[in-house]
Structure 1
Amino acid sequence: MVSAIFLALAVTQAATQHLSLFAAGSLKAALSQVSQDYCAAYGTPLATHFGASGLLRERIEAGDTAHVFASANMRHPMTLESAGKGGPVALFARNRLCALARPEVTVSTETLLDVMLDDGIRLGTSTPKADPSGDYAFGLFDKSGHADALRAKALQLTGGQDSARPPDERNTYAWVLDSDQADVFLTYSTNAVLAQNELPELQIVQVPDALTVGADYGLIVLDDAPPEAWKFAMHILSPAGQAVLTDYGFDAPALPKGD
């Protein structure tokens, strides 16, 4: 009788256990929607935590409870896999860099590199190593032929442990430009769209083909996660989950192609 009671309690606890999703800040809008859809469909409570992927990986390594980790690169989840903390790692989304510019800046795709090199232009990026967006921006610098000059002038304004935080409900990148911290900011195309939704006067400038840097996003289920974590990961990779990602501007590699 006692054993039956304990078994029933264990089943109830497993059924009500909150899943914990750690995910890149650039995924906040899309995976919040995916999470809501999943909870509505399956009734599984799910707690979400968004931030710079490198800092989230450090939290997981330090012992924070994460069942699913969705990173803005493949390296951070693969680091966890190599350390025996989970796996395998799946590619679930792609993004790309663009430039976000204040309205008074005269800039186009063709002139973007010259504008970034201009001594009178404050160039913002996220923080390399802590946030993959910063790593991708520095990768763009490496392709430009002016890596040293661009690295030297880049203002690492977001994604770091000590980066200033925007007010609640403000888009980080719209706030950075609106508060006059930078003139041009390199970020993901998906982030730029959300920033422009908040401040329509901001300019989105596509990167020249020669400087294009793509971003591969990796997904991992951590060891000791409940079985529901695998179900949620599969939901992200399902046509329904992938369709939400495309709605928010991501390329979804697992979305079936049309016949």
Structure 2
Amino acid sequence: MKSWMIVGLLACPAMAHAAELEFRAAGSLKTAMSEVIGQYQQQVDVDINAQFAPSGLLRKRIEQGEQVDLYASANMKHPNTLHAANQAGPVVEFAGNNLCALAQQSVEVDSNNLLAVMLNQKIRLGTSTPKADPAGDYAWQLFNRAESVQQGAEAALQSKALQLTGGENSAKPPKGRNPYGWVMGEQQADLFLTYCTNAVLAQKEVPSLKIIKVPSELAVGATYGLTLVNDYHKEAAGLAMFILSSQGQAILAKYGFETRAE
């Protein structure tokens, strides 16, 4: 990681307090970051309270005064908004992801006909909730790209999309279940747009699900941002640096995230 990025990340004030480190991260990071935290705690004696949820809802909680030390978002917009409001330091890009489609076994779909299948009125298309969850925002970006392929596609996809996850009022899966594996296992959608990393985890729970690569003309990439929130725990910078280190990046890469070379 370039030195200017490291200096920028540490630009907001730290607070030397004894409470546990409060870490908030996008739900799509849960499995990978849980391992990152475990590895870090083998090296540093620090209590970490990690909570995972849609990035937009986490940002709202920080804006409303929740004590958070380190925030990892599935987009750059939410942490940059906190930085612009002087609530957090500069934002560093630390990982990337892409959208894939999860499909029920009965749906005849591949990359070549994905758009036609999504537009089929008989197909229930699931997404996360825009604004609350960046995965929903990225789905809407895909809909926008679809407009350049087929006129009227954007409005049609927006109107039929079932916003099943990531919102404040979205149904919660049973404890320990992958939200997308649960939604698809419960037959709430025929096709669901989510991060490719989420799709892999969902397929592990529901092996019958198919993962469809989004064709290049529709492809949307996700950029993940990391920031230290003002008055952060003294060890939060250490955890941030570990996430950016070769060891932290290797763990993220193992779970399918695109990582940034040092």
TM-score, scaled relative to structure 1: 0.92
Matches within 5 A, 1:77-116: 77-116=79-118
State whether residues 25 and 53 of structure 2, in contact with CA within 8 Å, keep that contact through their aligned partners in structure 1.
Answer: yes
Which 4+ runs in 1 deviate beyond 6 A? Answer: none
Specify which structure has the higher proportion of helix.
Answer: 1
Partner Cα separation in structure 1 for residue 82 and residue 159 of structure 2? 31
> 2:62 matched to which residue of 1?
60
Question: 1:226 aligned to 2:233?
Answer: yes
> Between Structure 1 and Structure 2, how many residues are aligned?
243
Work out which of the two has the higher radius of gyration on C-alpha atoms and give 1 or 2.
1
Structure 2: unaligned runs, 5 residues or longer: 1-15, 148-152
SS of equivalent residue, structure 1 residue 194? helix
Question: Structure 1 residue aligned with 2:213, among 194, 198, 206?
Answer: 206
Partner Cα separation in structure 2 for residue 224 and residue 44 of structure 1? 17
> 1:149 matched to which residue of 2?
156
Whichever residue aligns with residue 166 of structure 2, its letter is G
Matches within 5 A, 1:129-144: 129-144=131-146
**Per-residue Cα deviation, 1:99-148 (whole angstroms, up to 9, x for no partner):** 00011111000010000000110000000000000000000000001100
Partner Cα separation in structure 2 for residue 47 and residue 169 of structure 1? 17
Shift of 1:226: 2.1
SS of equivalent residue, structure 1 residue 209? coil
Question: Structure 2 residue aligned with 1:124, among 123, 126, 147?
Answer: 126
SS of equivalent residue, structure 2 residue 252? helix
TM-score, scaled relative to structure 2: 0.91
State whether residues 15 and 44 of structure 1, in contact with CA within 8 Å, keep that contact through their aligned partners in structure 2.
Answer: no
Whichever residue aligns with residue 137 of structure 1, its letter is A
Question: Structure 1 residue aligned with 2:247, among 240, 251, 254?
Answer: 240
Question: Structure 1 residue aligned with 2:41, among 36, 39, 42?
Answer: 39
> 1:217 matched to which residue of 2?
224
Question: Structure 2 residue aligned with 1:48, among 47, 50, 53?
Answer: 50
Shift of 1:222: 0.6
State whether residues 16 and 44 of structure 1, in contact with CA within 8 Å, keep that contact through their aligned partners in structure 2.
Answer: no
Partner Cα separation in structure 1 for residue 142 and residue 34 of structure 2? 29
Partner Cα separation in structure 2 for residue 226 and residue 203 of structure 1? 42
Partner Cα separation in structure 2 for residue 227 and residue 41 of structure 1? 15
State whether residues 17 and 234 of structure 2, in contact with CA within 8 Å, keep that contact through their aligned partners in structure 1.
Answer: no
**Per-residue Cα deviation, 1:194-219 (whole angstroms, up to 9, x for no partner):** 00111111000000000000000000
SS of equivalent residue, structure 2 residue 89? coil
Shift of 1:43: 1.1
SS of equivalent residue, structure 1 residue 210? coil
State whether residues 97 and 258 of structure 2, in contact with CA within 8 Å, keep that contact through their aligned partners in structure 1.
Answer: yes
State whether residues 17 and 233 of structure 2, in contact with CA within 8 Å, keep that contact through their aligned partners in structure 1.
Answer: no
> 1:182 matched to which residue of 2?
189
State whether residues 127 and 161 of structure 2, in contact with CA within 8 Å, keep that contact through their aligned partners in structure 1.
Answer: yes
Whichever residue aligns with residue 170 of structure 1, its letter is R
State whether residues 16 and 45 of structure 1, in contact with CA within 8 Å, keep that contact through their aligned partners in structure 2.
Answer: no
Partner Cα separation in structure 2 for residue 68 and residue 94 of structure 1? 18
> 2:10 matched to which residue of 1?
none
SS of equivalent residue, structure 2 residue 217? helix
> 2:200 matched to which residue of 1?
193
Shift of 1:15: 7.5
Structure 1: unaligned runs, 5 residues or longer: 1-13
**Per-residue Cα deviation, 1:149-177 (whole angstroms, up to 9, x for no partner):** 00000000000000000111111101111
> Identity of paired residues, percent?
53
